[in-house]
Structure 1
């Protein structure tokens, strides 16, 4: 996973996803953490895309919250956060989308397409 090939917004989303997982003491970073972070980016492209599609971002966040609440939690504080296989697949699919579209960097849109 090459983080240097991400746009600034995509990097911010990855960091926000990690923070979300850590704050909830989850043991793994999952695609749902990333989607939550992308939808929550107030000035990001994902909320705008969802709005154009007629989807309610708040409702999606609520559904993600339910899903996130079901994830395993660490038994001891400060336990290392691991990247799940599902997250890796989304990351790789986003890289492939960027290549397919002949983009030099992976952006938030690529992650959305990958999910």
Structure 2
């Protein structure tokens, strides 16, 4: 058998393994945030659908953590098309110990908690 075929198979298996670890990590991080995060109301600042072949949505939102901390503004890339409008209120869950670690509630499977 040709060695190039083996290298291609090993490369393909490596890519699949990395993708699997990423998905597993995303799931665990999101579960941790769901279990220990604080729920607040946020506001969408911008929402842009991007891409032509692979579509994702870049969304910028802001929320005020508890305890009088200054508002946090974050930008996330969500898988697929998400239609939210500037000014729209959205539920956000964040970690009290790290207020920038947040996720849009209802879109957990579409982006990473970071």
| Relative contact order, higher structure (CA 8 A, sep 6+) | 1
Confirm or deny a common fold (TM above 0.5).
Answer: no
Instruction: Give the number of the structure whose residues are more often helix, by fraction.
Output: 1
- Compute the TM-score of the two structures, normalised by the length of structure 1: 0.24
Larger-gyration structure (1/2) = 2
- Compute the TM-score of the two structures, normalised by the length of structure 2: 0.24
Instruction: Give the number of the structure whose residues are more often strand, by fraction.
Output: 2
